[in-house]
Amino acid sequence: MLKINKLFSNLLVIFLLFNSLYSQIPLFKYYPELNNKLSHVTLGQYPTSIINAQNLAKNLNIKNLYIKDDGYIDSRNIPTGNKMRKLEFLLADAINKNYKTICTVGGAGSNHALETLVLAKSLGLDVVLMLDDQLSTSSVIRNLKLMVNYGAKILYIDPIYDTSEKIENYVKDFCDKNNYYFIPVGGSNEIGCMGFVNAAFELKEQLKVLNMQEPDIIYVTLGSAGTAAGLIVGAKLAGLKSKIIPVRISMTPEYKSNILCELINKINIYIKNLGNNFIITQASVENNQVKYLDLDIEIKHDFAGPEYAFITQQAASAVNLLNNFENIKLESTYTGKTLAALVNDANNNLLKDKNVLFWNTFSHDNFDKLTNNVTEDMLNSCIPVQMQHYLTDKLQELDPGL
């Protein structure tokens, strides 16, 4: 029986990879030579919907407000969100390089860590999650329970690794020693970023099919920077003219603008090295803003709060506003702060004559059917003792729930 199950699992992986080989994602349609150079496996359900948020647009006095919903409710009852796009390239690269185990890093309630666990296991790969401390939120508790539900192997990162650089170097070293495929925070390296280069082409095609005007402005979260970096490079390649507003949710303006710039330049070099007829153009940073060709990019720096995952009043209010008017639930660490920037611009009459797109990157489901199966014994055996306090910690006063 075990041999049959293993055979079935192997056949499933072969089928998925074979199927993806012939899947014409938008990026490959425009740059067909990349199809033979860039590993990819289809994991998500695309194109994701564009929702016309008419009620909220009217309330905020915006001409048109649309939501690109990467947080759609998946028919397979698995988490979605922006990380899935990145993992289509990262996990395919790992399989192509014959890795058997994936290792990634994030905060205690990392959406990326959860998504990596779910999708890597679906492809027959083993997974190790290395998690460090953060402020507790409802989504942290949900994600920890989901990790346990999917049988996560979780390792706790000691607080002595107290900077992003120290953590990344520690995890990289761990992966090298164990022959694990390393995926950085948020899946944000040049390979993962290709998911959002492709997403820009997806948006371009979708606008044509729906006969929609190109957005004047696109709001997107600036967390580990991969989503924003990929979208910026993709927008330029796809010929989109939209102003792109990445909203910083953590760290300092200096640090985050430099990380975004660095990733844009790495993506350029990566594509060039794949043999594409692609002219490298360097991005730069001026006054904590990224300059890249003639694209209009404005990083919003005023909505992060004092530390990662701190729930600001603006974020909590924005989450409640969208839920009240459109029945769409965000969270307070990433998407709530991004929407808060949009709401603030609307309140300052900057959007009344604009077509605005909000890129929702949060998998907006509480997944009760899965988390209800998780027992206390399962939690205690799976979650490192240093992290079990998250399950009983008092939530922040402004936590909007799920």
pLDDT of residue 82: 97
pLDDT category at 290 given cuts 50, 70, 90 is: very high
Domain total of the chain: 2
pLDDT of residue 19: 46
Question: Is there a single domain that holds both residue 182 and residue 196?
Answer: no
Question: Is there a single domain that holds both residue 299 and residue 355?
Answer: yes
Does residue 81 surpass a pLDDT of 90? yes
pLDDT of residue 8: 43
pLDDT of residue 3: 47
pLDDT of residue 15: 46
pLDDT category at 275 given cuts 50, 70, 90 is: confident
Question: Is there a single domain that holds both residue 72 and residue 132?
Answer: no
Does residue 12 surpass a pLDDT of 60? no
pLDDT of residue 285: 98
* Residue 165: exposure state from Cβ atoms within 10 A (0-12, 13-18, ≥19): exposed
β pairing state of 101-107 and 126-132? parallel
Residue 131 domain flag: yes
Residue 290 domain flag: yes
Question: Is there a single domain that holds both residue 230 and residue 288?
Answer: yes
Last residue of a domain, one of 165, 188, 211: 188
CB of 82 within 8 A of CB of 110?
Answer: no
pLDDT in tens, 195-221: 999 999 999 999 999 999 999 999 999
Token couple for 205? 């095609």
Domain of residue 45 covers: 30-78+192-360
Residue 23 domain flag: no
Question: Is there a single domain that holds both residue 208 and residue 349?
Answer: yes
Of the candidates 245, 234, 350, the residue with the CA atom closest to the CA atom of residue 289: 245
pLDDT of residue 23: 56
**CA distance linking residue 20 with residue 276, whole number of Å:** 21
pLDDT in tens, 348-365: 999 999 999 999 999 999
Residue 162 domain flag: yes
Question: Is there a single domain that holds both residue 102 and residue 136?
Answer: yes
Residue 130 domain flag: yes
Give the contacts of 345 (CB within 8 A, at least 6 positions apart).
Answer: 351
pLDDT of residue 1: 46
> If you average pLDDT over residues 257-268, what whole number do you get?
98
Residue 157 domain flag: yes
Last residue of a domain, one of 156, 188, 220: 188
- Sign of the C-alpha dihedral, residues 361, 130, 93, 258? positive
pLDDT of residue 9: 46
pLDDT in tens, 298-352: 999 999 999 999 999 999 999 999 999 999 999 999 999 999 999 999 999 999 9
Question: Is there a single domain that holds both residue 100 and residue 211?
Answer: no
Q: What integer best gives the mean pLDDT of the chain?
A: 94
Question: Is there a single domain that holds both residue 108 and residue 236?
Answer: no
Question: Is there a single domain that holds both residue 150 and residue 164?
Answer: yes
> If you average pLDDT over residues 1-18, what whole number do you get?
47
pLDDT of residue 221: 98
Residue 217 domain flag: yes
Question: Is there a single domain that holds both residue 228 and residue 137?
Answer: no
Question: Is there a single domain that holds both residue 318 and residue 345?
Answer: yes
Does residue 4 surpass a pLDDT of 50? no
Last residue of a domain, one of 325, 342, 360: 360
**CA distance linking residue 382 with residue 361, whole number of Å:** 27
Token couple for 280? 């490298």
pLDDT of residue 110: 98
Residue 395 domain flag: no
Q: Please report, for the domain that includes residue 153, its CATH number.
A: 3.40.50.1100
Question: Is there a single domain that holds both residue 121 and residue 59?
Answer: no
> Which pTM does this prediction carry?
0.94
Matching residue, tokens 């390393």: 182
